[in-house]
Structure 1
Amino acid sequence: MIKSALILALLSASVGIAHAADIAKGKELVEKNNCAACHGTGLKAPVAPAYPKIAGQYQDYLYYALKSYTVNNANVGRNNAIMQSQMKPYSDKDLRDMAAYIASLPGDLVVKK
């Protein structure tokens, strides 16, 4: 019984490790995609009003947004053909890595209290 519980605990811990986001890999992918070309320096100074400030946004929100582009989810703001084509080739792990990196950047996100 104790042995089974220990194995289950170890497996559960390894699942968390397997899904941990890699900020360095995310940075590499963001730079490869030249995200700053539209989202601006530091991903917080968009070159046009239509592009959002994404630096410092919540990691879960960023992942959901990036994932939405890969599954043609036409939620408001998720039907941009450029973003769809750029995000399509990436795995869930890649998207999580990008989201973690972007979330780690200083941004203008304000949470009202």
Structure 2
Amino acid sequence: MDVIYYYCYLFYKKILKEDEPHALTVWALGAGEGFFVGSIINIFLIRFFCFKMDKWLMIGISVLFLLINYFYFFKSKRSLRIIKEKPLFFGSSKISKILTIAFFVVIISSMFWGAIYAKYLLQTYCR
């Protein structure tokens, strides 16, 4: 997660030139992880229990991940250490960028494929 945090931070700092890149990085990671985990839990609940999660529970999961990331990166000052260290996957900047982009593609796409697959499961298994 350190490498993904670092490259997300660089995106907000250098490309978008935001005033608070640390805060936006924590928000992006927390919300993305929350949506992904919420989609996986929703699919599991529909498949095995025919129970669809309420939107407020999904939002609650995202808020939980926001808080976890806030305390893990921001409050503990870990984010400052990450920026100083400039971590890389396998010692390669190119691989780090590719894996970070892939991480966000999977996270963001889960909002779409999660809903589509959940609807399919509801129609197939929960008649």
TM-score range normalised by the length of the shorter chain: under 0.3
TM-score, scaled relative to structure 1? 0.28
TM-score, reference length from structure 2: 0.26
Give the number of the structure whose residues are more often helix, by fraction. 2
